[in-house]
Amino acid sequence: MQKKHGQHLLKNPLIISSIVEKAEIKSTDVVLEIGPGTGNLTLRLLELAKKVIAVEVDPRMVAELQKRVGSSEHKAKLQVLVGDVLKIDLPYFDLVVANIPYSISSPLTFKLLSHRPVFRSALLMYQREFALRLCAAPGDELYCRLSVNTQLLAKVTHVLKVGKNNFRPPPKVESSVVRIKPHNPPPPVNFLEWDGLVRLCFNRKNKTLGSIFKTNAVTELLSQNYKTLASLNGLPALTDEQIKDKVIEILDNNNYDEKRSGKMDLDDFLKLLVLFNKEGLHFA
């Protein structure tokens, strides 16, 4: 196994069977698997799916996978893409079922969620703490920017706990399987701007929004974005002080001044973004 690829092969057939069952694979489905390793999960997916697209970065694993599947009656249903999943263009797929490298959990999750057309569902193995952050609700200790951003784009549910001894070699952390069902159609939100707002809010999630948004750094950011917007759209110029006054007015008039990010839900963030945008204030 190569440490740089984060390779931990799932070896327990009972866990593999449980994942395959919970994936709800149809005979017409194209299934994407990331990091198939030696094919323990791949062989089970091939039994049920119309086609399996396996993305593997390690050529040694590709050779082992092709050798193993080569003697299977389902070998014609396997397509192997060799390369870094974060760098290659992914083809069409209906489902994702994978034990992914934990080191790329966040960028891979958002790459999948930005894929078009929208896939039906993903069943992914994550490090336990990352999985709990994905699923966390407002008020939970682990509720964070990751929770809010993922839940804006998808319904996320914790499916299965998986102990470290179910892998070879065993990882240093416990694992969990999570189901991600993208909202279709996706929400009509500029994600870069949404993330700009959420990033600011969660930099100090236990502080009030009033204390976060009244800082000079936030005023400068909003002021710079406003100047760009104003020059492009012929809007009146505003000083930093006028921008700050607008921010205070938005927070005070809509009862956001004393709110804390760690207790706010998606609707709270969406409403706040709309209020800022109405006043010409943008986060990206």
Tokens read off for 74: 């389902």
Q: Are residues 117 and 252 in the same domain?
A: no
DSSP state, residue 119: P
The answer on pLDDT for 4 being more than 80 is no
pTM of the model: 0.92
Please say whether the beta carbons of 204 and 218 come within 8 A.
Answer: no
Do 209 and 156 belong together in one domain? no
Cα–Cα distance for residue pair 116/230, rounded to 1 Å: 33
The better pLDDT of the pair 105, 230 is held by: 105
Are both 153 and 254 inside the same structural domain?
no
Q: Are 25 and 127 in the same domain?
A: yes
Tally of domains in the chain: 2
- Residue 283 within a domain: no
E strand or H helix at 238, and its extent? Answer: none
The Cβ of residue 192 has, within 10 Å, a number of other Cβ atoms equal to 10
111: in domain: yes
CA dihedral 87→31→163→142, nearest 10 degrees, is: 60
Structure tokens at 259: 């709110």
CB–CB of 200/218 below 8 Å?
Answer: yes
> Does 83 carry a binding-site annotation?
no
Q: Are residues 111 and 230 in the same domain?
A: no
Looking at residue 276, its amino acid is: F
Residue 253, marked binder: no
pLDDT at 201 over 50: yes
In a domain, 274, yes or no: yes
Tell me the average pLDDT of the chain: 95
Tell me what pLDDT residue 6 has: 53
Q: For position 151, which CATH number holds?
A: 3.40.50.150
Q: Does the annotation place 10 within a ligand binding site?
A: yes
pLDDT on residue 5: 46
**204 and 70 in one domain?**
no
Statement to judge: residues 139 and 51 lie in one domain: yes
CATH number at residue 243: 1.10.8.480
- Which residues touch 228 (CB under 8 Å, ≥6 apart)? none
35 annotated ligand-binding residue: yes
pLDDT in tens, 185-198: 999 999 999 999 99
| CA dist 64 → 60, 84, 99, 194 (Å) | 6, 18, 17, 43
Question: Looking at the domain assignment, is residue 77 inside a domain?
Answer: yes
- What's the rounded Cα separation, in Å, for the pair 214 and 73? 65
- Considering the domain boundaries, does residue 284 fall inside one? no
Residue with tokens 């209020």: 275
Question: What does DSSP say about strands 175-182 and 78-82: parallel, antiparallel, or unpaired?
Answer: unpaired
Sheet holding 30-34, edge to edge: 78-82, 51-56, 30-34, 95-99, 121-127, 175-182, 154-162
In Å, how far are 180, 206, 273 from 196, measured between CA atoms?
23, 18, 10
Question: Annotation-wise, does 140 bind a ligand?
Answer: no
Q: Are residues 13 and 126 in the same domain?
A: yes
Domain end among 156, 182, 208: 182
Q: Phi, psi (5° rounding) for residue 7?
A: -85, 115
Chain center to CA of 145? 11
The C-alpha atoms of residue 220 and residue 243 are separated, in whole angstroms, by 9
Provide the percentage of residues in the chain whose pLDDT is more than 70: 98
116-139 per-position pLDDT tens digit: 999 999 999 999 999 999 999 999
Q: Which residues contact 94 (CB under 8 A, 6 or more apart)?
A: 26, 28, 29, 30, 31, 119, 120
pLDDT at 161 (0 to 100): 97
158 is known to lie in a ligand binding site: no
| Residue range of the domain that includes 45 | 3-182
Q: Are residues 67 and 153 in the same domain?
A: yes
- 97 and 18 in a single domain? The answer is yes
Query: Residue 262 is inside which H or E element, if any?
Result: none
The string of pLDDT tens digits covering residues 50-74 is 999 999 999 999 999 999 999 899 9
